[in-house]
Amino acid sequence: MESGYCSDNLQSAVPVFAALGDPVRLSIVARLSENGPLPTVQLKDGTGGITRQGINRHLRVLEDAGLVESARVGRVRQWQLRAQQIAIVREHLDRLSAVWDARIEGLRAFVEDGDER
C-alpha cells in the first residue's frame, strides 16, 4: 500500500468506519441492505427497544457519514443505502484484504521453503 493511499484516502473513510463501528448502526445498514428502503418506524422495530429519537440519532450519524439518505414519502421518512458510499467502503476493504493476502502468501512460501530444507 502506498503511503499516499494510507494518509489521504483512508482518512476520508474514517467517518464511514466510525459510523459502522456501532452495532445498532451496523444492524441498520444490514437491514437496509437486505430489505431495501425502509421507514424509520420499521428500522426502530428491529433494534430491541431503542427509542425513535435514538434511532433518529443513529440514522443522522449514518447520513453524515454518507451511508444512507432519506426522502419523505407522504408523512413517512424512508431511508435507503447510498450505493456509491458502500462501494467506497468495499474498495477500502478490498485493498486491505489484498495487502493481507500478499502477506499470508509470503508467509506460506517462507514456511514451505523451510520445509524443503
E strand segments, the chain: 38-39, 68-73, 76-81
Q: Does 1 fall in a domain?
A: no
Provide the domain count of the chain. 1
Cβ within 8 Å of residue 82, ≥6 positions away: 66, 67, 68, 69
Q: Confirm if 78 and 70 have CB atoms less than 8 A apart.
A: yes
CA distance 1 to 19: 24
Q: For the segment 15-59, what is each residue's pLDDT rounded down to a tens digit?
A: 888 898 999 999 999 999 998 899 998 888 877 788 889 999 999
Residue 46: which domain range?
6-115
Give the torsion sign (CA, 27, 33, 34, 39): positive
Q: How confident is the model at residue 9 (pLDDT cuts 50, 70, 90)?
A: low
CATH of the domain at 63: 1.10.10.10
Please check the confidence at residue 67 and state whether its pLDDT lies above 90. Answer: yes
Global pTM exceeds 0.75: no
Instruction: Write out the three cell numbers for 39.
Output: 421507514
Q: Does 90 fall in a domain?
A: yes
